[in-house]
Amino acid sequence: MNVHTYEKIWLVASLFLIVGFIATVVYGAAGAGIAMVDASGGTVDSTSLSENERFGEPGVERVGDGEYEVTVVARQFMYQPDPIRVPADSRVTFYVTSADVIHGFQVVGTNVNTMVIPGQVAKITVDFDEPAEYGIICNEYCGQGHHDMEGKLVVVPEDEYGGDDA
């Protein structure tokens, strides 16, 4: 095959680019510690969430020193609980599932973003260092009221954080 020298140079540069992209993403995972949402949340019967041990009562629970678990149910067209209150300087694990169709769960302006699929539990852990107020939006079309589906996440200063009941 008759490949021009310049084109060979470009082929090598392209491969360099591709490997560079993959290396960056690997750095993000291994170096910066970013984990992908995966299958570790398990599955759940979305037709009987109220009887489910975890999702029967969506809310915030303190599970350790500075560690919290937040159970969220997304449904047309709201999140439970809303707002979600957690203290600053905490490590929060969200368990998010849907009671009906596919939704999104995106904390606006951050890198916290996951799909919410009925039958699946999205489990994501996030460190909140500073007090802040965030909007939560559904970023997957979920029906005619999709644009009304929003929630709030409030990270309150540690000393103002009252209880686990959100």
Partner 1 sequence: MATDRELKEIGHDEFDPVGTLTLITVYFLILVGMWVLTYFVEFLGNGPTVVG
Partner 2 sequence: MTSEELPGEELFLDRFPDEAQVVRASLWSAFVALGIGALAGIVQALHRVGYVRFIDSADYYTVLTLHGVLLVISFTIFFLVGLFTWAVTRSLDRPVENIRFTWAWYLTMVAGTVLAGVAILGGFVDSIPISADVLFTFYAPLQAHPLFYAGLAVFIIGTWLAGFDWFRSWWIWRSENDGRIPLQTFMVLTSMLMWYIATIGVAISVVFFLLPWSLGIIDQVNPLLTRTLFWYFGHPVVYFWLMPAYLLWYTVLPSISGGRLFSDPLARVVFVLFLILSTPVGIHHQYLDPGIAEGFKFIAMTNTMFLLLPSLLTAFTVVASMEHGARQRGGEGYLSWLGALPWRDPAFTGMALAGLMFAAGGFSGMVNAGMNINYLIHNTLWVPGHFHLTVGTAVALTFMAATYWLLPQLTRRRLYSRTIGLFQVVMWFVGMVLMSNAMHRAGLVGIPRRTAEPQYDGFAFDAGLSSVAELDAQVAIGGTLLFVSVVLFLGNLIISLLEDPMEGTVDRSLPPALSGPEDSPEVLDNLSLWVAIALLLVLLAYSLPIGAIVADGGLFGPGTESYPVVLSWLEVVT
Q: Is 17 in the site for partner 1 (CB under 8 A)?
A: yes
> Quick one: which segment of 9-17, 52-60, 74-82, 96-104 binds partner 1 (CB under 8 A)?
9-17
Using DSSP, state whether 155 is helix, strand or coil.
strand
Decide whether 93 or 139 has the Cβ nearer to partner 2: 139
Q: Out of 11, 50, 67, 160, which residue is the one contacting partner 2 (CB under 8 A)?
A: 11
Which listed option, partner 1, partner 2, none, makes contact with residue 33 (CB within 5 to 8 Å by class)? partner 1
Q: Is 57 in the site for partner 2 (CB under 8 A)?
A: no
* Dist CA 88 CA 26 (whole Å): 29
* Dist CA 100 CA 22 (whole Å): 36
**Is the C-alpha dihedral spanning 76, 82, 88, 90 positive or negative?**
negative
Which listed option, partner 2, partner 1, none, makes contact with residue 127 (CB within 5 to 8 Å by class)? partner 1
* Dist CA 92 CA 99 (whole Å): 22
